[in-house]
Amino acid sequence: MLYMFFLCLLTIFFFYILKRQEKENFKDIIRILTSLRARQELEDIPEVLKEEYIETLNKIIKQELELENSIVELREYRKELEVTYDALVTKSTQLEYSNHILERRVENLSNLNSLSRAVLSILEVDKIINIILDAYFVLTGAKRISLYLWENGKLKNRRVKGAIRFRGEISFSEDEIKEFTRADYKRIYEDLSKGFAVGDDEVVVISPLVVKGKELGVIYVIEDRNKLIDIDEETISALVIQVSIAINNAQIYSALLVKERMSNELEVAARIQKKILPANIDDIFGLKIANFFEPAKEIGGDYYDYTVVDEDNCCITIADVSGKGVPAAFLMALGRSVLKTLMITADMEPEKNLNELNRLIYPDITEDMFITMMHSKYNRKTQILSYSNAGHNPLVVYRAETDTVELHTVKGVAIGFLKEYSYRHGELKLNDGDIVVFYTDGINETENSNKDMFGIDRLKEVVYQNKDREPEEIKESILKAITDFRGDYEQVDDLTFVILKK
């Protein structure tokens, strides 16, 4: 473009010279044109041409300078365009990456939402674990996963996914766990993570499972170090929240199911226990009878029984198994069944029945359990109540003839204490107006809010104050006295008693 401009100027100037300087020779013209082309000023220019020559030369030099400046500006502008283009390419790449990450986040959010609905509707821990571990592989760069849960003081491996052979286990006592802080759990999880075999290019991500401060366990995720990007860490954190909530809900539901099942079983057991107690009767062989049974829990270890042995003899028994609840009820049922069989088939005196009962069930009683029992037989012809005591409370007896309340008993250890033991015999003759009360320690050991006990003396006083009343009325008076004494304090033991009146 510069060359064409230059030629144009030369041509104009040439024709101008030809017109005004017709007499100059061709050599001078060539010399002038050559100097203009070289941008060099000639000294010996004819005066008639000198002004035009200098003006033309200056114009050429000026135009050339302007053109050179324009080229420099164009080059700088081009550089700026190249920098801008590079920046735009970089921004476009970043935007594309950000868009990819955003798409992954949206996709993961959608998947997490679907996963949340799925696992929160499942109430089986094993199914939840399977779904969650599959989700880790789909939504993150996980290569191997190991999940642990706390169970009764032990951090136990519940599931692995991928090539993991390590199945470390840690256990603590309940007292130790109660003292654990968040830092202690973190240290435990970090120490356990050292057991995993990982390559130099791999990293173990430790994700504790915690819901409202409750430690459920931990998930170990093994990933390639250079592939662990922010989106993976975000997804892992979100998954941890989902799995923690789902497992916690499942465990709560499982506990409720167990509790409900136990409650149903206890309800059935309570009905069975009440069924095996004798039906209420008002009179047996001239003895008026009242009874009461109320376990402290759904089922208890107390029981009473009446058994007609033959046309002249009947047995009255009351017993108390150590402990409460299902174990006590089982032992009570065992003792009752064996004793009832002995009474019907052997027809022995009370002390002989206790001897044989102790011998038969001693092998089946654990060291921490035993049965106290007051076992008696009444003969309607002799009107004698024979009895034997296996570590039980003494009989409370009102004597109408002397107008006194007495305690009658013989010594004897509880059933299950000693393998071989000979129980003793006691007896008393019942006269008209006499009252006999069989009872378990739920009466005399009833406590009030001050930890005072109801005691035998209060029971004797209630019996004496109601000596002229019927057994059912005496029963109600005893229950009222106990209730008034206890107040709002909880009943902590089974409450059982039987009242006989001749």
What CA–CA distance (Å, rounded) separates 207 from 135? Answer: 15
What CA–CA distance (Å, rounded) separates 415 from 365? Answer: 9
Give the pLDDT of residue 202.
Answer: 87
Give the pLDDT of residue 9.
Answer: 58
As given in the structure block, the two tokens for residue 317 are: 């028994």
Listed as ranges, residues in the chain with pLDDT below 50 are none
The domain ranges of the chain are: 2-88, 122-257, 279-501
Sorted by sequence, the CB contacts under 8 Å of residue 387 that are 6+ apart come out as 350, 374, 375, 376, 377, 395, 408, 410, 425, 426, 427, 428
Give the pLDDT of residue 123.
Answer: 67
Phi, psi of 416 (to 5 degrees): 100, -5
Give the pLDDT of residue 200.
Answer: 85
Give the pLDDT of residue 243.
Answer: 77
Phi, psi of 181 (to 5 degrees): -105, 175
pLDDT in tens, 317-330: 999 988 666 777 77
Cα angle value 307/310/316 (rounded, 5°): 25
As given in the structure block, the two tokens for residue 186 are: 């973190």
Give the pLDDT of residue 88.
Answer: 75
Task: Pick one of 1.10.3720.10, 3.60.150.10, 3.60.40.10, 3.30.300.30 as the CATH number of 279-501.
Answer: 3.60.40.10
Give the pLDDT of residue 18.
Answer: 54
pLDDT in tens, 418-434: 988 999 999 999 999 99
Give the pLDDT of residue 75.
Answer: 83
What CA–CA distance (Å, rounded) separates 306 from 340? Answer: 10
Give the pLDDT of residue 116.
Answer: 57
Give the pLDDT of residue 48.
Answer: 66
CATH class of the region 122-257: alpha beta
Q: List the strands of the sheet with 384-390, edge to edge.
A: 302-308, 313-321, 371-379, 384-390, 426-429
Give the pLDDT of residue 269.
Answer: 62
Give the pLDDT of residue 431.
Answer: 94
pLDDT in tens, 8-51: 555 665 555 555 555 555 666 677 777 767 766 676 776 766 77
Q: What is the DSSP letter of 347?
A: -
